[in-house]
């Protein structure tokens, strides 16, 4: 009974810590959301990805929801000209804005867990297991980030194509190329950063959490 209570308490502390990191990053200028003129780049997906791998997909999905909530707040109260794609409370936005704001971010908290576990199982018998584990973490971080960028931009194209083209001051006929350029300029660097940070930070945290879980049940998802 005491072990169960310790496990639940530690789990709540971990969730609170990751949530706090996301919130602090989101509302610290030029840290979580980096202004790029008409849009913003972000690295807030990194703690969501790490939380997904360490705590599991359910808690990862919750952390993704926290990320989505910060995005909604930021785009409502400090908007750019394309904030209508993330906030139904900004001129031009609608309920699709909430889908774009939350669904890709929630998936950031789900996809990396399953990518990492699948690759870990695949490389289970490999030599130099530590190297392959690092690679698995990096790929999970990379794909988690790309899921966010790819799905966000795809949904913007489908739901707000003409309005987004007008905000960007480009022809709708070339919008698809503009979308691809955003993925290339913002999405790929974000994904590379996420891969590196996920691999480095998770390696350290996995060791720490596994050693600290001896007296409080298993806290790292296996």
10 domain residue, yes or no: yes
The first and second tokens of residue 26, run together, are 């989101």
Q: What is the reported pLDDT for 141?
A: 96
* pLDDT of 96 over the 80 cut: yes
Q: What is the pLDDT of residues 29-73, one digit of tens each?
A: 777 777 655 556 678 899 999 999 999 999 999 999 999 999 999
Q: What is the pLDDT of residues 133-191, one digit of tens each?
A: 899 999 999 999 999 999 999 999 999 999 999 988 899 999 999 899 888 888 888 89
- Greatest mean pLDDT among 30-44, 80-94, 125-139: 80-94
Mean pLDDT of 12-35: 86
220 domain residue, yes or no: no
11 domain residue, yes or no: yes
- In the chain, the number of structural domains is 1
104 pLDDT tier (thresholds 50, 70, 90): very high
Of the candidates 62, 52, 43, the one whose C-alpha atom is nearest the C-alpha of residue 191 is 43
Q: What is the reported pLDDT for 142?
A: 96
What φ, ψ does residue 33 adopt, rounded to 5°? Answer: -110, 120
Q: What is the reported pLDDT for 162?
A: 93
Percent residues over pLDDT 90 in the chain: 57
217 domain residue, yes or no: no
- Average pLDDT over the chain, rounded to whole? 87
Tell how strand 39-42 and strand 33-36 pair up. antiparallel
Mean pLDDT of 92-119: 95
What is the Cα–Cα distance from 206 to 51, expressed in whole angstroms?
A: 11
187 domain residue, yes or no: yes
Q: What is the reported pLDDT for 57?
A: 96
Residue reference for tokens 């890709």: 104
Long-range (24+ apart) CB contacts under 8 A made by 203-212 are 203/133, 203/134, 203/137, 205/50, 205/54, 206/54, 209/54
**Global confidence as pTM:** 0.88
What is the Cα–Cα distance from 110 to 152, expressed in whole angstroms?
A: 16
Mean pLDDT of 106-118: 96
CATH number for 81: 1.10.1760.20
174 domain residue, yes or no: yes
- Name the more confident of 143 and 130: 143
218 domain residue, yes or no: no
Q: What is the reported pLDDT for 19?
A: 96
Q: What is the reported pLDDT for 218?
A: 46
Residue 151, domain extent: 2-212
43 domain residue, yes or no: yes
**Rounded to 5, what percent of the chain is helix, strand, coil?**
75, 5, 20
Percent residues over pLDDT 70 in the chain: 88
């Amino acid at each position: 009974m005491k072990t169960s209570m310790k496990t639940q308490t530690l789990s709540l502390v971990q969730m609170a810590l990751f949530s706090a990191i996301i919130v602090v990053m989101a509302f610290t200028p030029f840290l979580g959301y980096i202004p790029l003129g008409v849009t913003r780049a972000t690295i807030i997906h990194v703690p969501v990805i790490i939380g997904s791998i360490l705590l599991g997909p359910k808690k990862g999905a919750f952390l993704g929801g926290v990320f989505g909530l910060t995005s909604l707040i930021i785009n409502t109260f400090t908007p750019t000209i394309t904030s209508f794609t993330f906030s139904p409370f900004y001129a031009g936005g609608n309920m699709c804005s909430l889908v774009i704001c939350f669904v890709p971010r929630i998936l950031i908290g789900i996809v990396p867990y399953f990518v990492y576990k699948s690759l870990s199982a695949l490389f289970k018998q490999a030599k130099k297991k530590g190297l392959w584990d690092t690679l698995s973490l990096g790929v999970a971080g990379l794909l988690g980030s790309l899921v966010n960028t790819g799905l966000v931009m795809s949904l913007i194209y489908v739901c707000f194509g003409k309005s987004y083209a007008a905000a960007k001051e480009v022809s709708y006929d070339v919008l698809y190329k503009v979308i691809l350029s955003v993925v290339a300029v913002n999405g790929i660097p974000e994904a590379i950063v996420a891969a590196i940070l996920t691999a480095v930070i998770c390696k350290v945290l996995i060791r720490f959490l596994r050693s600290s879980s001896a007296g409080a049940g298993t806290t790292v998802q296996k």
